[in-house]
Structure formats: structure tokens, C-alpha cells
Amino acid sequence: MVTPKLPPRLNLADTPTPILKLERLSARFGIEFHVKRDDLTGLLESGNKVRKLEFLVGEALEQGADTLITCGTLQSNCCRAVSAVAARLGLKAVLAVKGEKPAVYDGNLLLDKLLGAQVVYCSEAEFAQIDQVLSRLSAEVRGRGGRPYVIPESGATEVGALGYVACAQELAEQIRHGAPAFDTVMITDFSGGSQAGLLMGKQLSGLAAEIVGIPIADPAARVRDYITATIRSAAARFDLAVEPPKTVHLVDGYQGLGRGQIRDEELATIVTLAREEGIVLDPVYTGKAFLGLLDRLRRDPKQFGNRVCFIHTGGVFSLFPFRERLSRLLDGTAEQSP
Ligand SMILES: Cc1ncc(COP(=O)(O)O)c(C=O)c1O
């Protein structure tokens, strides 16, 4: 992918990330079931965000920015990843988070504070007008003589998606060097930006696998529209020879109660994978998506082909604020099987 229009890419992620076979789940479903450990991209286990930030912060530095501004929930992985990258590179981070200041910091918010980010707490109503909040924070940074760069929630821009173009190219390279030729690569969707990147990277690298997303919050139609729009804008802006696929494959129906609301069956899925394979998912994103994947495989083990790879996009720190519910689940239920 050599094109002069791409923003400069920083080297932030520990890549290539390993691909591991899930032995017990493979045996259970009679398929080869793998996980690509993008939760191990480094910079405080910042998951899929580090790949996006390689390009987003590359662009920020190119524009002379010294302050990264972003937004999200109190337990936002994106906010924590931006805080970690800012601290690593000697930049400032300003975070607009939805919710009230808690008496005790926990999970990602604890790390944001530890990493020195300025945290601005927003009410539901303020967060509903987040663009105005981000403009106000940018103006405040400029007023102090700083140079802001705004990263929207989840790093969801065509620049952020380039991180997952690179991931698809990395996967194609790993397959050329002996990793299984996957029939399907699955990823968790919030915005759909990571899946958009994978779909572009598939076209650019000749990766044969179907790319399938599992939306965990928004309706499938909204995620699909975002993916299509992101691919179109990336193609136009960066001169990439890519186009939206005729079908964007999504596994729908596993949004549960929405983004912040976690059900016991989603927590139970995390317990299952931890105990059976020693891999820890997060409650808000990957736990929900994995529940969906297991549910589909239970109905028809071969529906995604014989070789399936789930990309683990990280998020482990948001487990800790669920400590009370998890403790009840762990004490009350010795063996969980989804
Ligand atoms: C752990 C984790 N997985 C998946 C996603 C979804 O990424 P995207 O917005 O690119 O669909 C996020 C984003 O918020 C995340 O934090």
C-alpha cells in the first residue's frame, strides 16, 4: 500500500500480534478456531485502538498538534489508549467522558488519571452535543497556546480505519508464512471502523477470508452504513483502490441491552473462555461478540467454514468495575458453559 496521500504512520503497536488456536473450543465445534491477540498490541494493552492511533496520532503530529482530545464513556478504552499514547509521546490528553466524577477511580478511568489526562465530566445532555463540547475544549487548548487534534469516539474516522487495513495486510502475511488460511475472520463492531479497515485491507492484500462483524451496540443497518461510508471516504481521500463490498457481513442480534448494560450470560461467556482457554475478554465489547459467535456456532458449527479467526480487540480493564457481579457469578456458579 504505497500512496503519497496516506498520513504518516507511527510505530506504536507490538505487531504482528500472535494467532493462537483455541484447542478445547475447536474440539467442541469440530472446526479450527483461532484468536488473533490484538488485545496484546501493547501501550497498556490498548487493543484495537493502538492500531488506529498509529495513523491518527501520525496525522496529529504532522499537523503540529501537542494535545490529543477525545471522548467516550467513563470506562472508554479509546480514552485510555489516547492517554497512554499521549504520555508515551510527551503530548497532553484531554478527555470528555460521559458521567459524573466517581468517588473512587476504577478500571480505565483510574488509568486515564494515572497517565495524567485531563478528564472533563459531561452530563447525558452535554454528551448528546459532543461536537460542541469537543469544539469548546479545542478552543480552550488554543487559548492556552496549545495545538489540539480531535479524535472522535472510538477513533472512528477513515484515518483510524487505516490501522485495520494494516491488520488485514499483517494477517495476509501471517497466512503466507504458515498461519491457517481462514475462511472467516470475525471482529467486534462498535462504530464498525475496524471492520471497514479489514474490508479494505482484504481487497488490497488479497486476503481470502470473509470478514464478519458482530455489532454490540448499534443496529446492524447503522453499522453497515458507517462501514460503507468509511470505505468510500478512505478510497476518495487516500486514493486507495478499494470499494465497499456488495455485502457487508454482520452477525446481528447480540447487542443485548446496549453498550453499557451487561447481562449475566455475557459475563458467563467471559468466565468460559478464561477457564477453557486462559484468554480474558472484556464485558462491553468482546464478551458480547464472543457470546454471539458461540451461539451461532452451537446452531451450525460449519456456518463460518472450517477455519475461523476471532480478532480479540482488547478492553480488559473495564472488567474491574464489574467486580461485584463477577464475584457473585464466580461464587454461585462453579461451571459455566454458554
Ligand atoms: C475492546 C473493543 N473492541 C471493539 C471495539 C469496536 O471498534 P470499532 O469502533 O472500530 O468498531 C472497541 C471500540 O470502542 C473496543 O474498545
d(CA 256, CA 263): 7
Q: Residue 196 C-alpha to ligand 1 middle, in angstroms?
A: 12
Q: Cell for 172? A: 495476509
**Ligand 1 in reach of 112 Cβ (< 6 A):** no
Only one residue has cell 446496549, namely 258
> Which domains are delineated in the chain?
19-47+157-332 (3.40.50.1100), 49-155 (3.40.50.1100)
16 CA distance to ligand 1 middle (Å): 19
In 3D space, the residue among 74, 77, 143 whose CA is nearest the CA of residue 103 turns out to be: 74
Going by alpha carbons, the residue nearest to atom 14 of ligand 1 is: 154
pLDDT digits (tens, 9 = 90+) for 44-80: 888 999 999 999 999 999 999 999 999 999 999 999 9
The residue whose C-alpha atom lies closest to atom 3 belonging to ligand 1 is: 313
Q: Is 336 in the pocket of ligand 1 (CB under 6 A)?
A: no
Nearest atom, ligand 1, residue 164 CA? 10
Q: How far is the CA of 59 from the centre of ligand 1 (A)?
A: 20
CA 130 to chain centre: 20
Best residue among 188, 211, 280, 291 to mutate for probing ligand 1's pocket (most ligand atoms within 8 Å of CB) is: 188
Q: Which pTM does this prediction carry?
A: 0.96
Q: How far is the CA of 189 from the centre of ligand 1 (A)?
A: 6
- Pocket flag, ligand 1, residue 157 (CB < 6 Å): no
CA of 215 to the centre of ligand 1 (A): 10
Residue listed under C-alpha cell 496520532: 57
Residue pLDDT, tens place only, 165-177? 999 999 999 999 9
pLDDT in tens, 83-129: 999 999 999 999 999 999 999 999 999 999 999 999 999 999 999 99
Task: Name the percent of the chain in helix, strand, coil, to the closest 5.
Answer: 50, 15, 35
Which pairs from 157-160 meet CB under 8 Å and 24+ separation? Answer: 157/56, 157/193, 157/230, 158/230, 158/233, 158/234, 158/237, 158/238, 159/7, 159/52, 159/55, 159/56, 159/59, 160/52, 160/53, 160/55, 160/56, 160/193, 160/197
Measured distance CA(39)–CA(44) in Å, rounded: 10
Amino acid (1-letter code) at residue 87: A
Report which of 140, 165, 74 is spatially closest to residue 112, judged by C-alpha positions. 74
Residue 333 has pLDDT above 70, yes or no: no
* Grid coordinates given for 148: 489540539
Contact 91, 68 (CB under 8 A): yes
pLDDT digits (tens, 9 = 90+) for 282-294: 999 999 999 999 9
User: What is the C-alpha separation between 241 and 157, in angstroms, rounded?
Assistant: 18
SS3 230: helix
The answer, yes or no, to whether any atom of ligand 1 lies below 6 A from the CB of 75, is: no
* Amino acid found at 200: M
- Residue 199 phi/psi, 5-degree rounding, is -65, -35
Rounded distance, CA 54 to CA 135, Å? 23
Atom of ligand 1 nearest to the CA of 191: 9
